[in-house]
Amino acid sequence: MDHFNYRNGELYAEDVRVADIADAVGTPFYCYSTATLTRHYTVFDEALAGTDHQVYFAVKANGNIGVLATLAQLGAGADIVSAGEMQRAIAAGIPASKIVFSGVGKTAGELKAALAAGVHQINVESQPELHSLSEIAASMGVTAPIAIRVNPDVDAKTHKKITTGLSENKFGIAWEQAESVFAEAAKLPGIDVVGVAVHIGSQLTDLTPYRAAYTKVRGLVETLRGQGHDIRVVDLGGGLGIPYDAENPPSPAEYGRMVKEVMDGIGCKLAFEPGRMICGNAGILVSSVVYLKKGVDRSFLILDAAMNDLIRPAMYDAHHTVIPVNEPHPGDNMAPVDIVGPICESGDTFARERLMPAVEAGALVAFRSAGAYGAVMSSTYNGRDLIPEVLVNGADYAVVAERLRIESVMDRERVPEWLAAPLPGDMPREASG
């Protein structure tokens, strides 16, 4: 459920006409709903009621500080994967004591920054990282609370680019090496091993792989305790899928029940890192139709949004439902169109042969489910602006990211001195003749 609905024939974001925002900020733009963010966070958190737990929102899904501040107020912590995301989370009011630092390639500089800030937990993913963190923490005279991320070798049955829990994936410590790495970690200075972490992939639409991975993790916790480790935290990652099209992912309640079943009586604090589930359906991307081009075999709806604004269809063949901002009439003719952007490559295609009601040049359309991995993955490819992001709250809205115009992007670029200086051939010459 979200809060983007038609009222009197027009699309609203909560109580704001989407067309009014378009008039104010220009298209394309992202639009997020506070009510939807709040609902999704609350539903997820409540599904875990009765367990000792903390939800760390995966900042990678949507790092906008307006969105993060909204979640911070609800009590969310942050799951970060870079020092940059840490800065965002802290700027949005999430204290370091509610930040978990994940990621396969944290640099020494990032580890230092995280320790200096006093983050709650660092999820270590390799032996070299473990040793580097130990040296850094010892040299700073602090102790790093760590969970070790293990790779359970379970197929999450999701798109191959977002599967992370198979032994062939780069993530986590191989299952076979887990016990020895825990033993090694326990002996290192500057390290306090608090827990086990796991994350098997994103956009999971079935509980079976979750159950398999979590059951393995539970077994590991018991084995580790038997070996003398004081395991206090189990970090169960993120990955719960959302409906983009016909998917029917498990509800947070079903997920919560499975977690409680598998982790019953484990005596650990449970950590969760949901991203998409919280913000995916809390955002739309609004765009204008530039042209409707009728070809011989196909018709093309050419938009002012492109793959640089929303790369998911090009990168993962992802489906995003596209709806006209003016509500179609029930009996309207539907015809197949390719929905494309203006970028000069065929990959800049949002949908092929999608059945759409007739829309004309100038009309507004909205991509649903664009609140996760949308704006955060955008770029300025083809000399395009980074588009504005707007957060709606009831009848109010605020621009939470301004348009970054190409002039500002160009501000960081320079013509090198050797080109700026006059070339020998340009030296003034004596007039001849």
Residues that bind ligand LLP (CB under 6 A): 58, 60-61, 79, 102, 162, 164, 199, 202-203, 237-240, 273-277, 312, 316, 372-373
Query: Which C-beta is closer to ligand LLP: that of 198 or that of 391?
Result: 198
Least distance CB 367 / ligand LLP (angstroms):
13
Distance, in Å, from the CA atom of 341 to the CA atom of 320, rounded to the nearest integer, reads 14
Minimum CB separation from ligand LLP for residue 375, in Å? 12
- The contacts of residue 136 (CB under 8 Å, 6+ apart) are 108, 111, 112, 115, 144, 190
Among candidate residues 31, 268, 279, 344, the one labeled active-site is: 344
> Buried (b) or exposed (e) across 178-205, using 16+ Cβ within 10 A?
bbebbebbeebebbebbbbbbbbbbbbb
Q: For the purposes of burial, counting CB atoms within 10 Å of the CB of 294, is it exposed (0-12), middle (13-18) or buried (19 or more)?
A: exposed
Q: Provide the minimum distance between the beta carbon of 151 and ligand LLP in the complex, in angstroms, as a whole number.
A: 11
b (16+ CB within 10 A) / e for 30-62: bbbbbbbbbbbbebbbebbeebebbbbbbbbbb
Instruction: Transcribe 270-281 into DSSP letters.
Output: EEE--SHHHHGG
CB nearer to ligand LLP: pick between 291 and 316: 316
Q: Determine phi and psi for 147, rounding to 5 degrees.
A: -110, 150
Q: What is the dihedral of CA 307, 311, 315, 317, to 10 degrees?
A: -90
Using the minimum distance from each CB to ligand LLP, give the nearer residue, 62 or 134: 62
Residue 268 a catalytic site member: no
- Least distance between ligand LLP and beta carbon 206 (Å): 14
Task: Give me the least distance between CB of 162 and ligand LLP, in Å please.
Answer: 5
In this complex, which beta carbon is closest to ligand LLP, that of residue 58 or of residue 224?
Answer: 58
Q: Which is nearer to ligand LLP, 273 or 338 (CB)?
A: 273
DSSP SS3 for 29: strand
- Provide the annotated active-site residues: 344
